[in-house]
Structure 1
Amino acid sequence: MSRSDALALKPKTFIERAPRQNLSCTAEISGPTVPTFQSRVRNISSSGMLIDHYGHVSVGDVVISKLPGADDMVGTIVRVRDGTAGVRFLSAFDVNGYRSSL
C-alpha cells in the first residue's frame, strides 16, 4: 500500500459544529470578487453564519461581512444552496458578546 493510499484510509478528525443562534439582522457583504450587497443573516455561530444570497457568491469566494455594531469579519463561502450561503469565519466570532450588545 502506498503512502497516499494509507493517508486516504486514515479517519478524518471530527470537528464539532459550533452551536448556531438565530439572528435577524442585515449584513453588508463584499469581497475582492464579490460585488457589495446587503443580506439577511439567518443564523450565526462563533465559526460562521448563514446568509441569503441571490447569485452574488460562489464557493471559495473570500468575503468581508459587516454586521451592525461589530468589527468586520473575513470569511470564505463554503456552501451555496437554495438561495443561502454558508460563510466560515477565518477567526472566531464572539456571538454571545455580540448578541448582548444588540
Structure 2
Amino acid sequence: MTETSDERLQGDIRKRTKGLERLRSDKLLERGARLEALSSNREALRSQISRMRETLHRVLREDSTLAERIRTLFREQGVTIATILTALGMTISTL
C-alpha cells in the first residue's frame, strides 16, 4: 500500500468512528428520554389505579341501588373504564 492510500484509509476510519460516536450519543439521549417517559407513565398509571380502587371501595360501601353505584362509577371513572373496555374489545377482535 502507498502512503496516500494509508492516509485515505485512516481518514475513512476516522469518519466512520465519528459517525458511530454520534449515533451512540443520539441513542443514549433517546434512551434517557424513553426512560423518563416510562417513569412518568408508570406514576400516572399508579395514581389512576389507586383512584379507581378508592372509587370502587366507596361505591361498594354505599347504601344505594346497583344502578346508582354503576352510574357513580362511570361518572367518576368513565374514561378509565371506557379505555379498559376498548382495550379488551381490541384484544378479543385480534384473537
Structure 2-normalised TM-score? 0.20
Larger Rg: 2
Q: Name the structure with the higher helix share.
A: 2
Higher relative CO (Cα under 8 Å, sequence separation at least 6) belongs to 1
Judging by fraction of residues, say which structure has more strand.
Answer: 1
TM-score between both structures, scaled by the size of structure 1: 0.19
